[in-house]
């Protein structure tokens, strides 16, 4: 089932890449776990891909997916990894500064007995025509707990 959801997520993100009205972005992020997660995990690293459409001159909305990994601090703590599938939005405050948010679901990949959870990621960033950089907080909420991290990311526009 998880492989099927991963395939659907990949099709959603990459299937729209040939449409001419939108923008395809791919990139990576690194982060430091926060809250209770910092006691268990060392850092967060991942890949991101989004496809957005211009709703207005200052507002883009679209879909995204990727892969995110939280590495365990101790050798007996298994790494946690997720495939997020989300809606994304970005509002330009100035020509280059933006506020954004991702909302969706993080599908648990590892450990095998993990549950996925609600994904949210507010962010602020700087962009030019070819790329963007951002800072944000990523939270994955499941079973009354949140796996969170403060992240820095880079996206390249195609």
pLDDT digits (tens, 9 = 90+) for 137-154: 999 998 888 999 999 999
pLDDT digits (tens, 9 = 90+) for 60-107: 999 999 999 999 998 888 999 999 999 999 999 999 999 999 999 999
pTM of the entire predicted model: 0.84
The contacts of residue 140 (CB under 8 Å, 6+ apart) are 82, 84, 106, 116, 117, 118, 119, 146, 147, 148
Give, as one character, the DSSP assignment of residue 36: G
Domains and CATH numbers, the chain: 2-157 (2.40.160.20)
Our measurement of the distance from residue 41's CA atom to the centroid of its chain's CA atoms, rounded to an integer in Å, reads 18
């Amino acid at each position: 089932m998880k492989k099927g959801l991963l395939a659907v997520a990949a099709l959603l993100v990459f299937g729209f890449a040939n449409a001419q009205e939108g923008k395809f972005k791919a990139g990576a992020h690194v982060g430091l776990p926060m809250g209770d997660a910092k006691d268990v995990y060392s850092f967060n690293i991942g890949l991101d891909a989004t496809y957005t459409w211009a709703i207005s001159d200052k507002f883009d909305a679209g879909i995204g997916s990727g892969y995110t990994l939280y590495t365990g601090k101790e050798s007996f703590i298994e790494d946690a990894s997720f495939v997020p599938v989300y809606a994304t939005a970005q509002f330009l405050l100035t020509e280059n500064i933006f506020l954004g948010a991702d909302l969706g679901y993080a599908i648990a990949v590892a450990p095998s007995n993990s549950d996925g959870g609600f994904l949210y990621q507010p962010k602020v960033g700087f962009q030019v025509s070819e790329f963007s950089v951002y800072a944000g907080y990523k939270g994955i909420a499941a079973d009354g707990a949140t796996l969170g991290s403060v992240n820095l990311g880079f996206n390249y526009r195609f």
